[in-house]
């Protein structure tokens, strides 16, 4: 007689690259067994049973490795309580926090400790942390790596906040060599500073003007630099928030040649298009920018081919006044889109239109991000994995109402937009995550050593 804490009977479950009926047996917060949906009568199992509805699919809990929580220091922009509630509402069970825009940024052990103390008692999902590679932290990255950060982020041009300075090409090469020595990973905001400086400045209400200020050539030149230095140093390098399809051949060729390069893109690049952005609507501003519809199709092709590995949110919220919605000035507005709660429905809608199934979506939004940061027990439904799940109704739909979003400020370019699928419940280690006023946060702090 097998004894479990829980059985989840799912008429549809995403197991690896297939969707199939399955009974997921949970013990001590992990997947203990994957059982036949209709087991032989002789099999005896002792456990409470949860029956999913016929229109629900059991997905692995999503893993979002690109989230700006901003606490401490800019908690008025976002915080661990609000960000992790939004994550849970969107089927995300694990997130990794970026080293900016908190104050102090996570560039040393004291700042990491401040982050961990801030998150410890208010995280509704599991949380890990990236460190920052800035000029002042170079040569001192190993202690953060040993403390369990999942990688190091850097910029090649101004980040938008003074306390997180960019790296020159020489500093970038030094950082890659340092990180390669302990086999860490460097995450790069890949826009070339000189190209951006030579482009027209962004100002005014026309989105086309903002688009010209961040040309695709900036990403091409940055990726060329990353490929060259990754080849020379042997470092693992990850291209953040890829927006331009023009970079995909460079990435694919480098990987085919053995360069340790990976890349991600985001829901806004996969679901929005520059020609549809209203002038003055700065909710759409992000860096790199949302590009044309034809470019968006090339990003989907790159996901299908594997040249782009993952889809993550780049959740980067701010208070509404910083978006300058009153003037609609794209030059003055903060560049960031908050989509942590909405990503699954947005991406699923676009994927379904392209004939792609939920197993591919789960691969891009759960398994591959977990693999990127070295969390093999996250992002998949498999024996031994964490019992983290999203119960998703793919044929249902949502209409985005900013008042229902859990992140701190209800600012979104998706307001009023209909998206396919609805997250009906999110489970963390075999228990549903409560989001009511009396819910208790149960998220844990993760590191490479304790995953």
Closest CA to 75 of 86, 83, 85, 64: 83
Each residue's pLDDT expressed in tens, for the chain with a length of 451 residues:
578 999 999 999 999 999 999 999 999 999 999 999 987 654 677 789 999 999 999 999 999 999 999 999 999 999 999 999 999 999 999 999 999 999 999 999 999 999 999 999 999 999 999 999 999 999 999 999 999 999 999 999 999 999 999 999 999 999 999 999 999 999 999 999 999 999 999 989 999 999 999 999 999 999 999 999 999 999 999 999 999 999 999 999 999 999 999 999 999 999 999 999 999 999 999 999 999 999 999 999 999 999 999 999 999 999 999 999 999 999 999 999 999 999 999 999 999 999 999 999 999 999 999 999 999 999 999 999 999 999 999 999 999 999 999 999 999 999 999 999 999 999 999 999 999 889 999 999 999 865 5
* Parallel/antiparallel/unpaired status of strands 62-67 and 185-189: unpaired
In a domain, 430, yes or no: no
In a domain, 386, yes or no: no
CATH number of residue 268's parent domain:
3.20.20.140
Report how many domains make up the chain.
1
In a domain, 412, yes or no: yes
In this prediction the pTM is: 0.97
In a domain, 8, yes or no: no
In a domain, 18, yes or no: no
Quick one: DSSP state of residue 202?
P
Closest CA to 68 of 374, 337, 271, 441: 337
In a domain, 44, yes or no: no
- Rounded to whole angstroms, the maximal C-alpha distance in the chain is 73
In a domain, 443, yes or no: no
Cite the DSSP H helix spans in 182-256.
193-198, 207-213, 216-233, 248-256
In contact, 45 and 16? CB cutoff 8 Å: no
Using a CB cutoff of 8 Å and minimum separation of 24, what contacts does 207-213 make?
A: 207/274, 207/277, 207/278, 207/279, 207/281, 207/284, 207/330, 208/274, 209/330, 210/285, 210/289, 210/330, 210/331, 211/274, 211/289, 211/291, 213/331
Q: At 451, list the tokens.
A: 């995953």
d(CA 93, CA 124): 8
DSSP 351-413: HHHTT--HHHHHIIIIIHHHHHHT-TTSSS--TTSB--EEEEEEEEEEE--GGG--SSS---T
In a domain, 439, yes or no: no
Note down the domain range covering 405: 61-375+396-416
């Amino acid at each position: 007689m097998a004894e479990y804490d829980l059985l989840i009977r799912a008429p549809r479950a995403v197991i690896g690259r297939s969707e199939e009926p399955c009974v997921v047996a949970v013990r001590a917060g992990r997947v203990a067994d994957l059982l036949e949906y209709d087991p032989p009568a002789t099999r005896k199992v002792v456990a409470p049973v949860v029956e999913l509805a016929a229109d629900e699919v059991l997905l692995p809990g999503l893993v979002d490795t690109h989230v700006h929580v901003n606490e401490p220091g800019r908690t008025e922009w976002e915080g661990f309580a609000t960000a992790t509630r939004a994550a849970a509402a969107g089927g995300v069970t694990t997130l990794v926090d970026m080293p900016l825009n908190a104050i102090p940024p996570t560039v040393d052990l004291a700042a990491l400790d401040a982050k961990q103390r801030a998150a410890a008692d208010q995280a509704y999902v599991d949380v890990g942390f990236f460190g920052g590679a800035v000029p002042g932290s170079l040569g001192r990255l190993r202690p953060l790596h040993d403390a369990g950060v999942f990688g190091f982020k850097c910029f090649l041009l101004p980040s938008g906040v003074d306390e997180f300075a960019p790296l020159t090409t020489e500093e970038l090469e030094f950082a890659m060599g340092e990180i390669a020595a302990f086999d860490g990973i460097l995450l790069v905001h890949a826009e070339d500073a000189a190209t951006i400086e030579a482009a027209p400045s962004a100002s005014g209400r026309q989105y086309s003007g903002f688009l010209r200020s961040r040309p695709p050539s900036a990403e091409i030149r940055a990726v060329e630099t990353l490929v060259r230095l990754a080849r020379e140093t042997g470092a693992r390098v990850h291209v953040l928030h890829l927006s331009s399809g023009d970079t995909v051949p460079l990435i694919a060729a480098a990987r085919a040649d053995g360069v340790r390069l990976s890349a991600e893109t985001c829901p806004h690049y996969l679901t929005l298009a520059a020609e549809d952005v209203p002038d003055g609507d700065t909710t759409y501003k992000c860096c790199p920018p949302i590009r044309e519809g034809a470019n968006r199709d090339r990003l989907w092709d790159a996901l299908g081919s594997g040249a782009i590995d993952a889809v993550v949110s780049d959740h980067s919220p701010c208070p509404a006044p910083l978006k300058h919605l009153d003037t609609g000035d794209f030059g003055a507005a903060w560049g960031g889109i908050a989509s942590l709660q909405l990503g699954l429905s947005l991406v699923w809608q676009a994927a379904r239109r392209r004939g792609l199934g939920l197993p591919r979506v789960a691969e891009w939004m759960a398994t591959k991000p977990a693999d990127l940061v070295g969390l093999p027990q996250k992002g998949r439904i498999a024996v031994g994995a964490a019992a983290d799940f999203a119960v998703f109704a793919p044929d249902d739909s949502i209409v985005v109402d900013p008042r229902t979003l859990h992140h701190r400020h209800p600012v979104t370019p998706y307001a009023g937009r209909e998206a396919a699928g609805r997250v009906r419940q999110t489970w963390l280690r075999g228990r549903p995550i409560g989001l009511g006023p009396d819910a208790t946060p149960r998220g844990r702090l993760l590191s490479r050593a304790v995953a």
